[in-house]
Structure 1
Amino acid sequence: MGLVVTETMMPVNGIQVCLETFGERTEPPLLLLAGEASSMDWWDDEFCRRLAAGGRFVIRYDHRDTGRSTPFPAGATYSGVDLMNDALGVLDALGVPAAHLVGLSLGGALAQRIAVEHPHRVLTLTLIATSAGLGPDAMPVLAGVGAVAVRTVPATEVRVRTATDEVDWSNRRSAVAGIIAEVRARGGPFTPDEPQLRRLAERVYDRSADLAAARLNHRCAGYGPPVRDRLAAIDVPTLILHGTLDQRFPSEHPRELARVIPGSRLVWLEGVGHEVPPRAVWAQVLTEILGEPAEPLSPAP
């Protein structure tokens, strides 16, 4: 497509953050916020290129402790607010005063917080596979994986059991298999097949300093003080995209988001689980995010 793609390291909030941009800086900026302990690799390269081809300056980045961004030892005490400030710092580093925010799961929670606490930085809001004002009492169990949310406490007080507890996250083969198992457990019929997932998992592992530490630290960080009671103040166009098979956040979660955010629009992704939108629904997702005429909505689950 001839789109400009640039990866770079930038100082953000006293750490180094790895970020990548797609498209021309003259286009409206769009910031992609990945899920918990997830690097920017989870936003597919081609998906980013298609967003850029739709007239956006697309920015994706590695959360702290993921990808090539600054790693921390297990038990680090940063918070969900720090993760939000990193997202804002990425925009600052690029000289972007405000952007379209597209957040998945944890990224959706961070986007909500930005919209509430820094509304002047948000052009539009797209919330994917997330919940209303995630707080310590609002996080259900992720079916099939067993991950649970924990309050922000020292790592010595935390023990999170998951179905992949036996994975050796320092071993490439074991970690790759663990990532594949997690994605499959929370996905649906459109989840990528094993060879494609393996390529992604290997890329994630190879770009990560310490997967075990990142997973623990992000869970300990939490999402910061709840903002659910402040979501009614959001006054930018808000799109909620949610899979009909999402077991981590069943249908009541996106319905509640749509209820509390004024003028928001809920669009169901048929056959999608708790996952980055798979290629099978890209046409629908890209159409919705880019604001072109929408396809007919899927029936609610």
Structure 2
Amino acid sequence: MTTSEKLYPVNGVELCAETFGDPADPAVLLIHGGSASMLWWDSGLCRKLADRGLYVIRYDQRDTGRSTSYPIGRPGYSMRDLAADAVGLLDALGIDQAHVVGQSMSGGTALVIGVDHPSRVASLTFVSTSTEADDLPPPSESMPHLDPPDFADPASVEEYVVRSIEAEYLGHFDEAAARDLVRRDMARARDFEASLTNHYAMSFDDPVNGGFGDLTMPVLVVHGGLDPVFPLAHGEAIRDAVPNGRLVVIPDVGHGVPAARWDDLVDAIADHTASR
């Protein structure tokens, strides 16, 4: 573990987190998507946000990175538990309120936090995610079908995740950077097979106190114009579902925001949080 990472006891589990910037600045809590450890919020992106006057927190959710892992296929938690973990991590860090950013699958986690723990949320940002409404378009036909890897063969696992990144990042794919990320992620995970499996096996329970229309804090939606996982209509649906939602489209990117477009994401988040 690097000296800047720390394990926090939260809700009976251990969560590994890392912070960037001045603790006196407004806090922003970054929650990445399914199977993704905190490394998927690149440290360079985190530093850019910190340079804009934000105290940045990235962390490993359960079953990713150095946080508590569960038996493969048997996660002992639901999405509401992951939301409670985020609030518990804020408690552990001594933070009363944070700007919450949820990416992809973790848009659902961010929604639960915003609806069920509104006093802890200064603003919400949904990145590359969806309302999951039945009438929204399916993933693009350009998304390839990838056979599951041989988990006994690390090279097979690495190749599977790299090819998954390639499919999501479209023309902005950087193979060397992707392989470096995957190798670091595999090296620090308690159980990488559980990381790739368990988030998709948990219970996806809804907030207790409502849905998108019940959010009371300012809401920003950031979406790639070419997102092949959740086509742009998904981001538009979130904007339309929340009170006074605002949508920022990054026109030429897919499901993930590449390094070449970090400034667009940083500008959107910094502008959204500046007056909150």
Question: Does the CA contact (< 8 Å) of 2:78 and 2:202 recur in 1?
Answer: yes
Deviation string for 1:121-156 (max 9, x for gaps)? 111111100012x4899894575556xxxxxxxxxx
Match for residue 60 of structure 1? 58
Q: Does 1:179 align with 2:177?
A: no
CA distance in 2, matches of 1:34, 1:139: 23
Aligned-partner SS, 1:221: coil
- Per the alignment, residue 84 of structure 1 pairs with 83
Unaligned runs of 5+ in 1: 147-161, 294-301
Alignment of 1:183-202 (within 5 A): 183-191=165-173, 193-202=174-183
Matched, 1:104 2:86: no
What letter is aligned with 1:10?
A: Y
In structure 1, which of residues 189, 211, 223 is the aligned counterpart of residue 204 of structure 2? Answer: 223
Contact 1:238 1:263 in 2 (8 A): yes
Q: Could you tell me how far apart the structure 1 residues matched to 2:234 and 2:210 are?
A: 15
Deviations 1:273-299 (A, max 9, x none): 112x11121121111100179xxxxxx
Residue 211 (str. 1) matches residue 192 (str. 2): yes
Secondary structure (helix, strand or coil) at the match of 2:158 reads helix
- In 2, the alpha carbon distance for the partners of 1:131 and 1:224 equals 15
Partner of 1:120: 119
Question: Structure 2: how far apart are the matches of 1:9 and 1:139?
Answer: 40
| From 214, 232, 241, the counterpart of 1:251 | 232
Residue 178 of structure 1: how far off its partner (Å): 1.0
Alpha-carbon distance in 1 for matches of 2:194, 2:138: 22
Relative to structure 1, the CA distance from residue 36 to residue 292 in structure 2 (aligned partners, 3 Å threshold; closer, same or farther) is: closer
Letter in 1 for 2:253: V
Query: 1:69 and 1:58 mapped to 2: Cα distance?
Result: 18
Structure 1 vs Structure 2: percent identity of aligned residues?
Answer: 39
Among 27, 30, 40, which residue is 1:29 paired with?
Answer: 27
Q: Distance in 2 between matches of 1:136 and 1:164?
A: 26
Which residue type is aligned with residue 116 of structure 1? V
The separation in 2 between residues aligned to 1:140 and 1:29, in whole angstroms, is: 34
Give the TM-score normalised by structure 2.
Answer: 0.90
SS of the equivalent of 1:263 reads coil
Question: Greater helix percent: which structure?
Answer: 2
Report how far residue 212 of structure 1 moved. 2.0
Residues 102 and 128 of structure 1 are in contact (CA less than 8 Å); yes or no, is this contact kept in structure 2?
yes
Residue 262 (structure 2) aligns with: 282
Q: Which of structures 1 and 2 has the larger relative contact order (alpha carbons within 8 angstroms, sep 6+)?
A: 2
Q: Distance in 2 between matches of 1:228 and 1:97?
A: 21
Assess if the C-alpha contact under 8 Å between 1:135 and 1:224 holds in 2: no
Structure 2 contact 25–55 (Cα < 8 Å) conserved: yes
- Equivalents in 2 of 1:286, 1:246: separation in Å? 19
Where in structure 2 are the equivalents of 1:256-275 lying within 5 Å?
A: 256-275=237-256
**Would the aligned equivalents of 2:143 and 2:229 in 1 still touch at CA under 8 Å?**
no
| C-alpha separation in 1, matches of 2:115 and 2:264 | 27
Alignment check: 8 A CA contact 2:115 2:209 kept: no
Q: Work out which of the residue numbers 30, 48, 51 in structure 2 matches 1:50.
A: 48
- Measure, in 1, the Cα distance between the counterparts of 2:134 and 2:91: 29
Q: What number of residue pairs does the alignment pair up?
A: 271
Contact 1:145 1:163 in 2 (8 A): no
C-alpha displacement of 1:226: 6.3
User: In structure 2, what residue type is equivalent to 1:289?
Assistant: I
Of 146, 158, 171, the residue aligned with 1:163 is 146
SS in 2 for 1:187: helix
